[in-house]
Structure 1
Amino acid sequence: MNDVTLTAADEAGSSHLAGAPPHAASRTSPFRLIAACSIGNALEMYDFTVYSFFALLIGRLFFPSDSPYGSLLLAVATFGIGFVMRPLGAFVIGSYADRRGRKAAMTLTIGLMVAGTLCIAFAPTYAQAGVLGSLVILAGRLLQGFSLGGEIGAATAMLMESGSVGQRGFRVSWQLGSQGISALLGALTGALLYVFLTPAALESWGWRLPFLGGLAIAPVGLYIRSKLDETHEAAPDAKSPLGTLLREHGKQVVQGILAVTAGTVGMYLVVFFMPTYMIRVLKMPPSLSLLSGCATGLTMLVASLVSGRLADRLARRKPLVLASLFFNIVVVVPAFWLMTRYPSVPLVLLLSVVMTAATNLGSTPMLLIMMELLPKHVRASGLSVIYSIGVTVFGGSSQFVVTWLLAKTGNPLTPALYLVACAIVTLFAVLSIRENRVA
């Protein structure tokens, strides 16, 4: 079956759009569609990026400890605990997206994101309110995690289902590309604050500015999402999407979870953890170390869009995913060895760019392969569950695991070894998946 063939189920689904003619989704302009579906993920990733880049400072302010690694461990644990809520958000909001439509779910998630970011931006420090400040930070991360657990499935499903089949790879690539934009903006903001603010000002109030700035885009996102045309409406007598997913597509869910392991660990370590690694392990100044986030964020954007175009044009997408995995397995350990042996900002930036590009060239086609394994009536909940569990178990925990291993072993190659192990797991998972290019 080629990439322009529609399944009967999807044809039927497209003719039952909420209160609209059969092809109402085509009236939404490509720019509005991409912006609306990407902005929620971008906002969430921007907050994640800023939190990651200020992890050392947040650790001191909210999680004081006598151990050099203690505050950082507690800060990244709080970063990671937001991921614990992702599966719950996937179950609740992903199922809601398959029952009530993608648009309704996307409106809900952006409101929850704003609430979580407000908690972090206005949390009192440990010195001001004791453990209460730490709990407010924790609450913000839990809200963010819950919202993003449902966001990814609903928004990516809408990107896939809107517009022509021949350009779906490019549309879906913006979901990953938006994460690159967020990393770039978050890192650039952090770098500028480190340059222009004194350490006292940064610790007192400056670190809150990026979170407050991220809130400004939320009303825009809410408005343009309200103008979208729905792409899916479940039949009134439809069974529970989540129950159907687990009963009829359990194998695909397990395969998908393992298939996202390498990509999510690579992103959270190379893009988000690298600035902390440069400061803590390579002893580089914070202002320069944050440039790695700018470089990898830009690379992530470009590589995602390129891979989306390739996914649209290639007869089979799986070889591109496998090539990306093989390259990472071969390159990552030598790259970290060079960084630790010859630490310099240009070298670290170059190697980070290479690893980020290799990872993201396989990410968009892998995302499409997973979505095409699932029928439309469980697509949003299926992708939400796959992505949220994969990110929670592997991506969200990766910073904590690597920080703990660095503290225990003192081996600076720990991140590389962890990345290789995850890439091998993903390699076997991808080999077990049969590509199924349908609408």
Structure 2
Amino acid sequence: MDHPRSAARSLTRQDARTLFLASLGGALEFYDFIIFVFFANAIGQLFFPADMPEWLRQLQTFGLFAAGYLARPLGGVVMAHFGDLFGRKKVFTLSVFLMAVPTLIMGLLPTYATIGAAAPVLLLVMRMLQGAAIGGEAPGAWVFVAEHVPARRVGIACGMLTGGLTGGILLGSLMATAINTAYGPAEVLDFAWRIPFLTGGVFGLMAMYLRRWLHETPVFEAMRERAGVAREMPLKAVLRGEGPSVAISMLLTWMLTAAIVVVILMTPALFQKMHGLAPAVTLRANVAATAALTAAAVIYGALLDRFGALRTGLAGSLFLIAATYALYFGTEAEVANLLPLYALAGAAIGMITVVPYVMVHAFPPATRFTGVSFSYNLAYAVFGGITPLLVSLLMASNRHAAAHYVVAVVVVGMGALAWNASRAARPVAEPGASPALR
């Protein structure tokens, strides 16, 4: 171990390098995972029969996208199992490799016109491998950085990592804008759709190489030196003794999915239909929102270190409720308000940093990776999967249903934060339990 993990010390150059490499890898991995959705129309035309009805082609294309979410819990739990038993670093590096290689292959796949039905099958396999990888990346990255930094700096570590992950969405949006600006529709279908996948795969392999220079976390090393690593299956231990922590983590993840899926991913398409806005207009506003989210995640991380999860989370939740309603009602009143209000909503969503901050404090070191991964990925698979369908159904009866849904789930998240605070008397192992609970 190169430095003691003292709560009192400041961040060192090694800490900064660890945070940078973890955030960079997370950004590139999330880019690889979501770039598919930005080119879904082109992929649908190329990987399914030309005579297939448009509605069916679209359904199957987004079914391929959703397959990645369905693979997240299994991949996340398997990688977390080995991360708790054999070390965080090995699995943390493996997740980047498992994302980069399928992304690179997707950019090289032959289309339906070349190999027929094998094309969408191969695409499905690659998409599921991506899902397994992302299931281990986010939880593994949060645990990794939280166990590296001083206990009083866990918030800023989670904030930088979360900013890196959301930065991957921003990179995808910018890449899609660049490709569609530089090439016409015919050129995109001919070859340009491959560029984002090939680029993501290459940079992902570079990120994997850079992660070779990371060190195992001091918390895991201390645990191994002190008593050895338990051989009991970590998931069994989590389910037997950490039920409240799992429930709180899943409820908070539900809040995270509502903010990301509805406000960041669905709102551009919803506003195109609700207000007749051009895709380019909503895309520019979405870029502003995602950029604001990336910066705000780091700011919220610093606030968490100063004020703790309860006060920061409740204040951030109220801000998110106000900003979401302002976005939907303010844009309806005057479409010129879209960009500033969307940026404001993105900044408010930065409060999701409270989610990993609470989760990494909720589980003891021996099962931390598994506990965070199981809770986060299961909740994301369930709530991330049903949210688009549920919001679409609710929108049929109320044009502001998307905003109402986000607000309702944020209230649930506030309840989870209060429940978490009520358990403050329970001893929790490092990293720094007390700030997370106050």
What TM-score do you get using the length of structure 2 for normalisation? 0.85
Q: In terms of mean alpha carbon deviation, does 248-257 or 68-77 score higher?
A: 68-77
Residue type at the aligned position of 2:252: A
CA contact (8 A) 2:323 2:348 kept: no
Q: Deviations over 1:273-318 (max 9, x none)?
A: 334445555444444432233212211111101001111111x321
Choose from 58, 67, 76 the match for 2:43.
58
Q: Report the Cα offset of residue 176 of structure 1.
A: 0.8
Residue type at the aligned position of 1:58: I
Which aligned pairs between 1:131-142 and structure 2 lie closer than 5 A? 131-142=117-128
Q: Deviations over 1:388-411 (max 9, x none)?
A: 1121111244335445666xx285
Q: Report the Cα offset of residue 47 of structure 1.
A: 2.3
In 2, Cα distance between equivalents of 1:309 and 1:297: 19
CA contact (8 A) 2:28 2:200 kept: yes
1:429 is aligned to 416
Residue type at the aligned position of 2:146: M
Q: Deviations over 1:34-92 (max 9, x none)?
A: 13322332122112332222233333443578766554443333222211111111211
Q: Report the Cα offset of residue 422 of structure 1.
A: 2.4
Q: Report the Cα offset of residue 21 of structure 1.
A: 7.0
1:68–1:292: structure 2 CA closer, same or farther, 3 Å change rule?
Answer: farther
Residue 214 of structure 2: SS of its match in structure 1?
A: coil
Relative to its length, the structure with more helix (as a share) is: 2
Q: Report the Cα offset of residue 133 of structure 1.
A: 2.2
1:244 is aligned to 237
In 2, Cα distance between equivalents of 1:359 and 1:142: 28
1:302 is aligned to 295
Q: Report the Cα offset of residue 114 of structure 1.
A: 1.5
Greater relative contact order: 1 or 2 (C-alpha under 8 angstroms, separation 6 or more)? Answer: 1
Q: In terms of mean alpha carbon deviation, does 334-343 or 200-209 score higher?
A: 334-343
In 1, Cα distance between equivalents of 2:83 and 2:35: 29
Residue type at the aligned position of 1:417: H
Q: Deviations over 1:4-40 (max 9, x none)?
A: xxxxxxxxxxxxxxxx578499987133201332233
Q: Deviations over 1:219-268 (max 9, x none)?
A: 32222211111111441554222211111102210121011112122112
Residue 417 (1) aligns with residue 410 (2): no
2:101 is aligned to 115
1:163–1:302: structure 2 CA closer, same or farther, 3 Å change rule?
Answer: same
Choose from 9, 34, 39 the match for 2:19.
34
1:112–1:29: structure 2 CA closer, same or farther, 3 Å change rule?
Answer: same
1:81 is aligned to 67
In 1, Cα distance between equivalents of 2:133 and 2:36: 17
1:324 is aligned to 316
Residue type at the aligned position of 1:358: A
Residue type at the aligned position of 2:343: V
What runs of 5+ residues in structure 1 fail to find an aligned partner? 1-19
CA contact (8 A) 1:88 1:146 kept: yes
Residue type at the aligned position of 2:403: A
Residue 348 (1) aligns with residue 333 (2): no
Give the total of aligned pairs. 414
1:6 is aligned to none
Residue 193 of structure 2: SS of its match in structure 1?
A: helix
What runs of 5+ residues in structure 2 fail to find an aligned partner? 432-438
In 1, Cα distance between equivalents of 2:199 and 2:175: 10
1:269–1:132: structure 2 CA closer, same or farther, 3 Å change rule?
Answer: farther
1:8 is aligned to none
In 2, Cα distance between equivalents of 1:295 and 1:65: 38
Q: Deviations over 1:329-361 (max 9, x none)?
A: 344345224435644xx532222222222121x
In 2, Cα distance between equivalents of 1:69 and 1:295: 31
1:85–1:210: structure 2 CA closer, same or farther, 3 Å change rule?
Answer: same
